Amino acid sequence: MKTKDFYINEAYNLVKEYRSKFDYLKIYLSAGQSIEVNVLNGKIENVSFSESIPITIVGALNGKTATVSGNYLSREKTGELINYLFGLLEIVEKDPYFVIPERELIGKAKADLDLFDKEALFADAENLIEKTVELENLSLSMSDKVKSAGAFYSVYAGITVFANSYLFADGFEKSYFGKGISLIIEDSAENSENKGRKQRAGWWDYAVKQNLLSSDNEVAKKAVERVLAKKGSVKPETGVYPVVFENVAATGFFSSIASALSGTRLYKKESFLVDSLNKKIGSDILTIEDNPLLKHGLGSRLFDSDGVKSKLVNLIERGVVKNYLLSVYSANRLGLKTTASAGGYSNLTIKPGEKSLDEIIKEIDKGILITSLKGQGANIKTGDYSRGAEGFFIENGKIAFPISEFTVSSTFQHMLDNIKEVGSDVFKSSSVLTPSVLFNGITVSGK
């Protein structure tokens, strides 16, 4: 992988050379290299290295627009791709909704996001293997009841570049570091409905800089605690309960909400939140922002894939939809303005409350704490929600016993309306930054 300046210059020279053939031309390039190591019981399971430079080019002429994608190989080869794009414009139909973005929208946000660690460029397999083995051994040393189901360590370094007909060309660098461990135990508890089966759980962490990662001890301890806590799990009684989604489990729920607010889904009428702008769709305590300018954020960026300068977007305020996630195109389809959200959400941020998870649990007489969800039963179009789950039963404000093999069923509409508490424990190893959340009146199907 070459330098950021190299790719910026390549993109700039390409749009400069070919822009006269088009009414509008843009190039979005994302160069990246990654390495991941997987270890099981001290032995290497897999070492993978990849390097790619995907490039997407959009051209517009006389009300027509077309897109081509490929891998950047050279300026000459990319020029051939642009010529092919020009040929496509002769055969495609006009798109009445395509609009050339205003010049003042294009650019790079002025923010120091501190997203890149140079060490990512020099990661080598031998060192990562050593680190991964150390994490696995540390985890196994914490309990003689656990066995390894595999540990990993991964490193990514990338460069994002945008250039267009306005002769704007710029980019930014980003890195990711990740590590984790998955553990198993034999469930021998007499009361367990899983007696004789293996229980599995683990923990992990991701960060844009190596020194921001949790320590091996923190990751290992969390993984061991979570897997040991699953011993003796049973199916809960079927019923309607207050249900707490632990922060890590709540990420998927709110990612679905962001998807329902995406412009593409909205203009295609494939979202349960169609025509929800400025309408109340949830609890007063629910506020959600998309913050691409979060320092050290896993989803942070200085511009979107339209080249529009990134900015904070207030999506839901006290239960009321204030904005959708809009690209230049989807905004025009809906008669609105872009929110610099081409490419989707960045750092989806759910405003935390003041209570810890323990404090929320203490206020529940009988309910469910969900620690993980399974399956694909979230329907963004209709709003129906049904997922397999596991976690713990709550009685008299305390964790009573582990539970598994049950389903939670509701609708997104009901769940949003019935958010009763938002915790203070924000999960940060994700681009969905959410605390634990308490929903009232959720159907649980167990036994």
Question: What local confidence, expressed as pLDDT, does residue 131 receive?
Answer: 97
Higher-confidence residue of 192 and 370: namely 370
Phi, psi of 228 (to 5 degrees): -65, -30
Residue that terminates a domain, selected from 177, 209, 228: 228
Q: State the DSSP code for 310.
A: P
The verdict on 446 and 429 lying in the same domain is yes
The verdict on 264 and 337 lying in the same domain is yes
Length of the chain: 447
Instruction: Assign 100 to helix, strand or coil.
Output: coil
Question: What local confidence, expressed as pLDDT, does residue 333 receive?
Answer: 97
Q: Look up the domain containing 51 and give its range.
A: 4-228
The verdict on 280 and 224 lying in the same domain is no
The verdict on 90 and 176 lying in the same domain is yes
Asked if the model's pLDDT at residue 237 lies above 70, the reply is yes
Dump pLDDT digits (tens) for 177-216. 999 999 999 876 555 565 667 899 999 999 999 999 999 9
The verdict on 393 and 412 lying in the same domain is yes
CB atoms within 10 A of CB 424: 15
Question: What local confidence, expressed as pLDDT, does residue 198 receive?
Answer: 86
Closest CA to 305 of 52, 105, 28: 28
Question: What local confidence, expressed as pLDDT, does residue 201 receive?
Answer: 95
- Bridge partner list, 251: none
CB 259 within 8 A of CB 221: no
CB 409 within 8 A of CB 436: no
Question: What local confidence, expressed as pLDDT, does residue 196 receive?
Answer: 63
Question: What local confidence, expressed as pLDDT, does residue 190 receive?
Answer: 59
Tokens of 350: 């759910």
Question: What local confidence, expressed as pLDDT, does residue 258 receive?
Answer: 98
Our CA dihedral for 219, 220, 226, 228, rounded to 10 degrees, sits at -170
CB 319 within 8 A of CB 416: yes
Closest CA to 416 of 315, 319, 296: 319
The verdict on 446 and 299 lying in the same domain is yes
Residue that terminates a domain, selected from 173, 201, 228: 228
Closest CA to 288 of 350, 236, 245: 350
Dump pLDDT digits (tens) for 312-339. 999 999 999 999 999 999 999 999 999 9
What is the mean predicted confidence (pLDDT) over 82-102?
95
The verdict on 211 and 344 lying in the same domain is no
Question: What local confidence, expressed as pLDDT, does residue 191 receive?
Answer: 59
- Secondary structure of 154-215 as H, E, C letters: EEEEEEEEEEECCCCEEEEEEEEEEEEEEEEEECCCCCCCCCCCEEEEEEEEEECCHHHCCC
Distance CA 338, CA 99 (A): 11
The verdict on 204 and 241 lying in the same domain is no
Q: ∠ at Cα 79 (73, 80), nearest 5°? A: 90
CA distances from 445 to 74, 143, 195, 205 (A): 57, 33, 21, 32
Distance CA 280, CA 284 (A): 9
Dump pLDDT digits (tens) for 379-390. 999 999 999 999
CA distances from 217 to 134, 140, 141 (A): 10, 11, 11
Question: What local confidence, expressed as pLDDT, does residue 17 receive?
Answer: 96
Provide the domain count of the chain: 2
Confidence of residue 435 (pLDDT cuts 50, 70, 90): very high
The verdict on 191 and 160 lying in the same domain is yes
Residue that terminates a domain, selected from 205, 228, 251: 228
The verdict on 88 and 219 lying in the same domain is yes
Instruction: Assign 129 to helix, strand or coil.
Output: helix
What is the mean predicted confidence (pLDDT) over 43-59?
96
- The per-residue b/e assignment along 154-189, b for 16 or more CB within 10 angstroms, e otherwise, is bbbbbbbbbbbbbebbbbbbbbbbbbbbbbbbebeb
CB 3 within 8 A of CB 157: no
The verdict on 156 and 184 lying in the same domain is yes
CATH number at residue 96: 3.30.2290.10
Distance CA 24, CA 149 (A): 52
Tokens of 187: 């469930």
Q: State the DSSP code for 340.
A: S
The verdict on 72 and 221 lying in the same domain is yes
| Least reliable range by pLDDT among 68-77, 138-147, 251-260 | 68-77
The rounded percent of the chain whose pLDDT value lies above 70 is 98
Question: What local confidence, expressed as pLDDT, does residue 1 receive?
Answer: 87
